[in-house]
Amino acid sequence: MVVREAPPSRGLLLRVLPSSLYAGRARFLLERSALVYSRYWVVFASGALEPLFYLLAFQVGFGKLVGEVAGPGGQLMSYVAFVAPGLLAASAMNGAVFDSTYNVFFRFRYAKLYDAMLATPIGPLDIALGEIGFAVVRGALYSTAFVAVMGAMGLLTSPWAVLLLPAAVLVSFAFAAVGMGCATFLRSTSQFDYIQLVLMPMFLFSTTFYPLGVYPEALQWVVSCLPLYHGIELMRSLATGFFDWSILGHLAYLLVMAAVGLVLAARRLHKLLLS
């Protein structure tokens, strides 16, 4: 009697998506990135320092000049405790965006790395998931260092603060996915100025340093549409332990942003490299 081996089981995503788009090999992209950056660990360390310097400056300097401010639900809190979750969200955003735009652009336009990958049994969605996944890892590492400093400074007072890192991963995922999708539209390094033109105002005005109520009502609607605003408000709610129905809106916004960015990145790679 001849016993035939059963074919390897395939996940639902593999059964639904065509093999030309997704082959289930995104983990190899993560492994490659980890091996490359194992020699450049200083890059990770330097990227985590900027938001930490901000936090220390507010703790020992500017924060002493500002009294208590109204946090989520109107509860009063120290200015440093108010700013810290915003800087944490910004740290997760910056780490993810840097890796998913600058590095992806170089690999795509100059190194032609993705052309070589698509000549193997790897699909565009594998590349998108692998590159976005490592950008999320980078954002999570930045966030871990930041949360550790927040804890050392006594700014983690709510038991819900244990969810700050998962929230930072979600923020990183959302920005990394959209960042990679946008990177496929860039044609020269000079166009990275457009990315900074978006990131810097969003960092300054997305309630990172002051509450939404300081804006005129018309501008409040504009600010509330910014993706970083939703990440900051989610972080601030977890840091203080105050929850209302708006937290579901923040989660939904970031999840939709991540899904749209992932689909955009995969479709752009498929169109530019396989069409």
Task: Specify if 223 maps to a domain.
Answer: yes
Question: Is residue 187 predicted with pLDDT exceeding 90?
Answer: no
CA-CA distance, 158 to 154, in Å (whole number)? 11
pLDDT value at residue 5: 46
Query: What pLDDT is recorded for position 8?
Result: 45
Reported as a single tens digit per residue, the pLDDT across 255-272 is: 999 999 988 988 888 888
Is residue 69's pLDDT more than 80? no
Q: Is residue 13 part of a domain?
A: no
By C-alpha distance, which of 85, 48, 82, 91 is closest to 62? 82
- Percent residues over pLDDT 70 in the chain: 84
Q: Please give the C-alpha separations between residue 183 and each of 22, 110, 163, in angstroms, as whole numbers.
A: 20, 13, 30
Length of the chain: 275
Residue 23's pLDDT is what?
64
The answer to whether residue 16 is domain-embedded is: no
Q: Has residue 9 been placed in a domain? A: no
Asked whether residue 18 is domain-assigned, the answer is no
Question: pLDDT class for 233, splitting at 50, 70, 90?
Answer: very high
Looking at residue 63, its pLDDT comes to: 65
Q: Are 150 and 156 in contact (CB under 8 A)?
A: yes
Per DSSP, 8 falls in state P
Least confident of 8-12, 132-136, 231-235: 8-12
Instruction: Identify the pLDDT of residue 176.
Output: 92
Give a yes or no: residue 247 inside a domain: yes
Q: Is the pLDDT of residue 172 over 70?
A: yes
Stretch 26-40: mean pLDDT: 79
Name which residue leads in pLDDT, 241 or 235. Answer: 235
Q: How many helices and strands (H and E) does the chain possess?
A: 12, 2
Host domain of residue 162: 25-274
8 domain residue, yes or no = no
Predicted confidence band of residue 228 (pLDDT cuts 50, 70, 90): very high
Distance CA 54, CA 186 (A): 31
Q: How many CB atoms lie within 10 A of CB 214?
A: 11
Residues 6+ apart with CB under 8 A from 28: 122, 126, 130
Structural domain count, the chain: 1
In a domain, 66, yes or no: yes
Highest mean pLDDT among 57-61, 113-117, 248-252: 248-252
Question: Among 117-121, 179-183, 271-275, which stretch is predicted with the lowest mean pLDDT?
Answer: 271-275
Query: How confident is the prediction for the chain on average, in pLDDT?
Result: 81
Distances (CA, A) of 120 to 26, 35, 110: 12, 19, 19
- In this prediction the pTM is 0.84
User: Given this model, what pLDDT does residue 15 score?
Assistant: 45
41-60 vs 124-152: helix crossing angle, rounded to 10 = 40
Residue 9 pLDDT level (bands cut at 50, 70, 90): very low
